A = this chain, B = another copy of it.
Amino acid sequence: MPRSAQINPPAETKPARRTSQRPTIRDVSRLAGVSRMTVSRVLSDPDMVLPATRERVLKAVADLGYVPDRAAGSLSSRRTGFIALMLPTLTNANFAAVAHGLTEALREAEYHLLIAYTDYDMAEEERQLRNLLARRPEAIVLTGAVHRRTATRMLLAADIPVVEIADLPSQPIEHAIGFSNYQVGRTAARYLIDRGFERIGAIAASPDGDVADHRGEERMRGFEDELRLSRRATDLVLRHGSAPVSFHHGAAAIRELLARDDRPQAVFAVSDLSAVGAVMECQRLGVRVPEDVSIMGFGDFEIGGEINPPLTTIHVDFRALGQRTGGMLLDLLSRNAEAGSGEPRIVDVGLRVVERASVKDG
């Protein structure tokens, strides 16, 4: 009685019932005539098995089109290979760049990014966080977005590295890597003051209620503080509409500022999006930039360098930020495996004024 299995129904020795057709590690092991453990080794640490055995297993894997089930693997090894990333939205070039840089940095180590957006909604934030944690990420990256008591508690309970990025919070949960939005505001104000302007305005969104993003408001706080330190009035700091800001936001806001009797000589916009919108609106109104009004932005979006005049702005390298975050995570995760997690790390990536033509001396 030849024991060679029939080709079609690969029902072998033990569990006869199979609900799905998808091959498991057991199918591979049978086809290759080895134990499941050997198959597992071939796929995770190939040097550990003899070349001959390895080839046999790899052939079986290829023949069956076997793709291991990471859910099962995760459960057993307690390593999911997930990194969670929570951000306000992906519809923002800078956040998309962060996600991009992070993915790149993690790709080699075979980590997969789990992305959740809050859409600037705090209730959503908590739900999303719970969903994320249910996937047992090995670390979580936040975009200055966690405020609720409950959310923080969940994070701590999860007992994984937490990295806050894009903002350096005064009281970081654990690690942080980014820049100070407050400093952005101060730097912008300082820059405009040094150019000799007296009447300096700004464009921002109102920091109303439940918006899970205070980064813009931080910038404004810094901006106003610096103005005050130099005895400038802050009444031209306009909070118009609500976040997230947009080209339209900038257009509407600059219109309002230009209509004032004490029209500002220079305006800082909370985001390049608003700044570009403002410049475009000026073009339409026949208001010359920078001759009639200087405009400065934040974020160094690609479009800012392309418009006429090109936009003076404050640059932060978000993609690099994502990559550095990835690097830090890999370090934390490997280190974590060998010893205690160690000190919280705070990294300031700094910022840089990019001088272009939309601001001239006042």
What residues make up the interface of A, taking CB atoms closer than 8 Å to B?
Answer: 19-22, 65, 67-72, 74-75, 78, 80, 89-91, 93, 96-97, 99-100, 103, 110, 112-117, 130-131, 133-136, 153-154, 157-159, 246-248, 251, 276-277, 280, 283-284, 302-303, 305-308
Contact of A90 among B65, B67, B96, B308 (CB under 8 A): B96
Contact status A280-B307, CB under 8 Å: yes
A106 to B160, CA, bound (A): 27
Contact in complex: B306, A135 (CB < 8 Å): no
**Further contacts, 17 of them, CB under 8 A, given A67-B154, A67-B157, A112-B114:** A20-B78, A67-B133, A67-B158, A68-B134, A70-B134, A96-B96, A112-B116, A112-B131, A246-B302, A247-B302, A247-B306, A276-B303, A277-B306, A280-B307, A283-B308, A284-B308, A307-B307
Q: CA–CA, A114 to B68, complex, Å? A: 17
- A82 CB to nearest B CB, Å: 9
Across the interface, which residues of B come within 8 angstroms of A153, CB to CB?
65
A13, B115: Cα distance in complex, Å:
39
Given contacts A74-B71, A90-B90, A153-B65, contact A112 B96 (CB under 8 A): no
Contact, CB under 8 Å: A303 / B247: yes
Candidates B93, B116, B158, B280; contact of A306 at CB < 8 Å: B280
Known contacts A78-B19, A154-B65, A306-B247, A71 near B136 by CB under 8 Å: yes
Query: Could you list some 13 contacts between A and B, CB below 8 A?
Result: A67-B154, A67-B158, A69-B134, A70-B134, A90-B100, A103-B117, A110-B131, A114-B114, A246-B302, A247-B302, A277-B306, A280-B307, A303-B303
Contacts of A68 in B (CB 8 A): 134
CA–CA, A67 and B155, complex, Å: 11
Q: How far is the CB of A319 from chain B (nearest CB, A)?
A: 9
**Complex contact A135–B71 (CB within 8 A):** yes
Q: Are B306 and A69 within 8 A (Cβ)?
A: no
